[in-house]
Structure 1
Amino acid sequence: MQQLTAHARTFERRCADRAEEFRRLGAGQSPQALFITCSDSRVVPSLITGAGPGDLFELRTAGNIVPAYGNPHPAGETATIEYAVRVLGVRHIVVCGHSHCGAVGALVRGDDLSGAPAVRGWLEAAAPERPHGPARDAGAVDVAGPDLADAVQRHALVQGERLRAYPCVREAMEAGRLSLDVWFYEVHTGAVRSHRPDSGTFQPL
């Protein structure tokens, strides 16, 4: 933590050379994409995409789970998606699963999460709708096991389908204002693959 604090302490001084860029950020935001991914510390959207400040509107949840639309209780995830699409007018959504995912691994293994009831409830909400059949990632190798990589890919596809059920997403896609992609990121290689609906496989970008 000391290293992180030291970096933050000197951040203002190091940004002096980019003063005009940061002044523009103060006027508002117009991100290119909503990037939905896992809370895992090894997954860094700006590192993967090269995005700068203002480029990505991020939603991070355990297991990159997108709650089903229509829950009567307010949810931060739903509000974030709706705000990105209806207020900010993002043109792209990316759902990005990743290798070595602890959340999906817990689902696959059926881990006992009685000591973490909030985590258990969150994951159980995702479990019933896991798709069946392989996603067939062409060439991906996951050191945690190919079965887990395949499960992560199928899980990410389910989240994409849930997004399409959101009225704001469905309407924007039907109007041609919004695209939706599902990615798979390998934390141990840096490889990024995108799902190709025509072949049903994950292929290099």
Structure 2
Amino acid sequence: MQDIEKFISGFGRFQQQYFNNSESPYGTLRTGQRPGTLLIGCCDSRVDPVLLTGSDPGDIFVVRNIANLVPPCTPTASAGVSSAIEFAVCELEVERVIVLGHAGCGGIRALMAPRPAQRETDFVGQWMRIAEPVAQRVRRDLAHRGSAEQHHACELASILLSLDNLLTYPWLKRRVDEGKLKLHGWYFDLQSGALMAYSPRRQQFLPLVCPLTAREALTA
């Protein structure tokens, strides 16, 4: 019950902030939404895209699933994720798509170290098969490395897989080719607090926001 009470109190604070203010964004949001960004993130409770980006209501259209995966465009693709992407790109006409991965992803852990199914269903295992090609490549190329390094490599590679899979949707690729849509791959290192972004030119993830310790050293 403490959680429920916390949620209700939290909604009260939200109500006061956004509905007791003549300049609240809900003045215009009541009639519709026009977010400029679609963010595809993980369900992990530690990785809230709105909190991490300091966004206001209406800023980002968020799709969350285990391991921030995008299924390829096939007749059997997950309708939930694919329909949300379709709506954001075709109806809302967002200008950018960000795939946000993170350190310590439980979905990637389940992919890299699968266990026998212990329940009547294995929805997690079925979903994570989207990233199985990435896991196989990491196991092959980093067979001489420890599990932690393999896990990290798979987290990064799965972001790139999702970016590639986005381009299998014809209506999305058209907007990219026309210069109307940009794709970004981000990685939140929740151990250091850093934010990394994939650089196609450098073909690696580079710091977008450095850890606080590194930033403090630069300004000292």
Equivalent position SS for 2:131: helix
CA RMSD, Structure 1 to Structure 2 (Å):
2.1
Q: Structure 1, residues 71-108: CA drift from partner, whole Å, max 9, x if none?
A: 24770111110111111010000001100000001111
| 1:56 aligns with one of 55, 60, 72 | 60
* 1:130–1:158 CA contact under 8 A, matched in 2: no
* 2:134–2:161 CA contact under 8 A, matched in 1: yes
Cα shift at 1:146: 2.9
Q: Which residue in 2 is equivalent to 1:66?
A: 70
TM-score, structure 1 normalization:
0.87
Q: Which residue in 2 is equivalent to 1:118?
A: 123
TM-score, structure 2 normalization:
0.81
Moved more, 190-199 or 69-78: 69-78
- Give the letter aligned to residue 190 of structure 1: G
- Displaced runs of 4 or more, over 4 A: none
Residues paired across the two proteins, number: 196
Alignment gaps of 5+ in structure 2: 140-146, 209-220
Cα shift at 1:181: 0.8
The answer to whether 1:184 aligns with 2:187 is: yes
5 Å-filtered alignment, 1:56-205, equals: 56-72=60-76, 75-115=79-119, 116-128=121-133, 130=135, 132=137, 145-205=148-208
Cα shift at 1:129: 5.1
How far apart, CA to CA, are the structure 1 residues paired with 2:22 and 2:106?
A: 38
Moved more, 121-130 or 57-66: 121-130
Q: Which has the higher contact order (CA 8 A, sep 6+)?
A: 1
Q: Which residue in 2 is equivalent to 1:12?
A: 15
Q: Structure 1, residues 93-148: CA drift from partner, whole Å, max 9, x if none?
A: 000110000000111112334425111211123313557369xxxxxxxxx93321
Equivalent position SS for 2:25: helix
* 2:134–2:154 CA contact under 8 A, matched in 1: no
Q: Indicate the percent of aligned positions where both proteins have the same amino acid.
A: 29
- Give the letter aligned to residue 37 of structure 2: A
Higher gyration radius (CA): 2
Cα shift at 1:10: 4.3
- Give the letter aligned to residue 166 of structure 1: Y
Equivalent position SS for 1:132: helix
Change (3 A) 1:33 1:131: farther
Equivalent position SS for 2:9: helix
Change (3 A) 1:123 1:18: farther
Change (3 A) 1:107 1:78: same
Alignment gaps of 5+ in structure 1: 135-143
Q: Which residue in 2 is equivalent to 1:140?
A: none
* 1:182–1:195 CA contact under 8 A, matched in 2: yes
- Give the letter aligned to residue 145 of structure 1: A
Change (3 A) 1:112 1:57: same
- Give the letter aligned to residue 70 of structure 1: T
